[in-house]
Every structure is written in C-alpha cells, then in structure tokens.
Amino acid sequence: MARFIVRRMASAILLLFAVSIVVFAIFEVIPSYNPARAIAGRNATATTVAEVSHKFGFDKPVYVQYAKTMELIFTGQVIDYNDNLNVDSQFAQRFPVTVSLVVPAALIWLAGAVVLGSISALRVGGLADRGLMVAAILGVSIPVFLLAAVLLYAFAFKLPWFPNTGYVTLPDNPAQWAYHLFLPWISIAILSIGFYSRVLRSNLLDMVNEDFVRTARAKGLTRRQVFNRHVLRNSLMPIVTMFGLDFAVLLGGAALVTETVFNLPGIGQYEAQAIGNLDVPPILVGAMFTAFFVVLFSAISDIVYALLDPRVRLAG
C-alpha cells in the first residue's frame, strides 16, 4: 500500500509539471499574441510592457520564459497591472472563502446522495424511487445561475429568511458564517446530489445481483448488514473517483457563478471578474491553481480507491 502511495504521488508531481507546461503554452506561446502586452493589461504604458517583458523573460528563449513564469507564480510575484494587486496574495486571501463554500456543500451533497441513492435503490420502482429520480434530473438540469438567483430571490428577498448576500468569516461569528452560506451551500449541493444519487442508485442495483451478495445473505446476515457491509461498500468506489475531480475543480474556483450571485469574495468570483475584464495574470495563476488541485485530488482519490478496493493495489 505504501508503495502504491509513493508511486501515485510521484506520478502526480510529474503530471503537475506537464500541466504547467501546457498552461504556460496556452498563455504565452500562442502566435500573433503579445503576452507582455496582455499581461500588462489594458492601461499599460510602454514602460509597464517593457517591465513585464523583462520580468517574464519574453526576450529570452522559451524555456527561460517558462522557468521565469513558474518562478513568479510560485514565489508570489505575479502582479495584476490593472489594479496593482498581487495576484498570489489575492488568491491566498480569497481561498478560505471558497473553502468555506465548497467543503460543507460537498459534505451535504455526499451525505444526501448516499441517503437518497440508497433509499431509491432499496425501494426501487416504488413512489419514493421515482419521485427522487425525477427530483434528481431536475437538480442536474437546472442551470446554476438560475438556481442560485431563484434561491436568493425566494428565500432572501421575498421571504426574508436568509441574508441578502455577503460573507462573514468563521472566526468572527460562526452562526452568521453558516447563516450567510446556507443558500450558497444549497445551490451547489442540489446540482451534485442529483447526479451522484443516480450513479449510486445504479451501482447499488447492479451490486444486488452479485454472487457475493448472495453469499452474504446465505450466511444469515440481516438485510441491513448485507446492505451496509457488502452492497454499499462496493458501490461507493466509483463515486470516490468522481468526487475527487468535482471537489478539486470547485476548490479551484469552479463555483464562480454561485460566488458571484451571492457576492462571496472567493477564488471563483475573482476569476470571473478577471475573465470579464480580460485580465490575464489572475487567469494564469487561476489555471495553475486549479490544475494543482485537480492533480492532487485525482492522486488522492486513486489512493482512497486503493484503500477501498485491494485488487487495485497490485496495479500501477
């Protein structure tokens, strides 16, 4: 098992390296595109452009450019020339907000998906099952901007149950923190619960026909024991892989619509603004940031999968 972990982490590092080259290529090596000018922003003077050019090494060979760019990103020296802010420190400041949004939402959707998926599978064909599956499809189909806006309108404006956007940090006031984040959590969770519960339900139904489940019943285990220890356990594994990627992308800022609608000062909001303003430095750092999490979490989910399924440990 330890060997597996080491191998997986080593390939994660290599992968990150490869991804960084791709990100670099996208932003800085496209023909007829002046990276220095793009990075220097819309209000750039000639001096700024020259400064950027020198800093990023655009007058030097490609590999030097790459090295310098990576160095700038990792040592926190990328500056957003439009508002003269240090991009890396912006990310650092905004990251806790995104974490506050994403982590509890993820826990809600995981727990919800397991419960809903299990109920559906246990009462397959019944009213609960069909009802839940319809609700799941709705959850998957509703565009997040619509859902977020509707929730905000309905529960913060029309029915003043929840605050009208804004963010309160956790150390200041935990109750307010949760209160402000509740609707955003629901927005994110509803989308994923639908999808995950359907996948789980499908896996559970397949699993019930497996031979080893028959053996478990033949041993005299109760229905609940058979379900928890054999059926559910074996059905969760594909969910782990999916979850790793979804979670990683969200940490990188994929919840940008939710953050924007609810005015939460997180990574996603920052990236959304940068995209709107065609502001290259934050986008560049954002790409690397997300890439880092995706690589990390796919390695972690592989490791968790290996923990759950011992047959996988023999392979790579």
Partner 1 sequence: MTEPLLDVQDLQVSFATEDGLVRAVDGVSFTLDRGEVVAIVGESGSGKSVTVMTLMGLTRSPNARFAGSARLRGGDLVTASEQELERVRGKEIAMIFQDPISSLSPVMRIGNQIAEQIRAHEKVSKADALDRAADLMERVGIPRARDRLRAYPHEFSGGMRQRVMIAMALSLSPGVLIADEPTTALDVTVQAQILKEIKQLSSESDSGVIFVTHDLGVVADIADRVLVMYAGRLVEQGTLDEIFFDPQHPYTWGLMGSVTRVDRDPPRRLPAIPGQPPSLLRVPEGCHFRPRCRHAFDRCREVPPLESRVPGYPEHLDRCWLDLADKHAKREVGGRIGLAEGDVIK
Interface residues with partner 1 (CB under 8 A)?
Answer: 210-212, 214-223, 225, 229-230, 233-234, 308-311
158 vs 224, which CB is nearer to partner 1?
A: 224
Min separation Cβ 303 and partner 1, Å: 15
Min separation Cβ 202 and partner 1, Å: 19
Asked if residue 173 lies in contact with residue 182, where contact means CB atoms within 8 angstroms, the answer is: no
Min separation Cβ 213 and partner 1, Å: 8
Distance CA 20, CA 68 (A): 12
Residue 86 DSSP SS3: strand
Asked if residue 285 lies in contact with residue 293, where contact means CB atoms within 8 angstroms, the answer is: no
Asked if residue 39 lies in contact with residue 281, where contact means CB atoms within 8 angstroms, the answer is: yes
8 vs 217, which CB is nearer to partner 1?
A: 217
Min separation Cβ 230 and partner 1, Å: 5
Mention every residue, 6+ apart, whose C-beta is less than 8 A from residue 211.
none
160 vs 310, which CB is nearer to partner 1?
A: 310
Asked if residue 260 lies in contact with residue 275, where contact means CB atoms within 8 angstroms, the answer is: no
Asked if residue 16 lies in contact with residue 291, where contact means CB atoms within 8 angstroms, the answer is: yes
16 vs 240, which CB is nearer to partner 1?
A: 240
231 vs 251, which CB is nearer to partner 1?
A: 231
91 token code pair:
């990310």
85 vs 221, which CB is nearer to partner 1?
A: 221
Min separation Cβ 128 and partner 1, Å: 16
Sign of CA dihedral 146, 149, 152, 154: negative
Q: How many CB atoms lie within 10 A of CB 139?
A: 21
Return the beta strands (E) in the chain as ranges.
Answer: 79-80, 85-86
Min separation Cβ 8 and partner 1, Å: 19
42 vs 229, which CB is nearer to partner 1?
A: 229
Distance CA 114, CA 133 (A): 13
Min separation Cβ 126 and partner 1, Å: 11
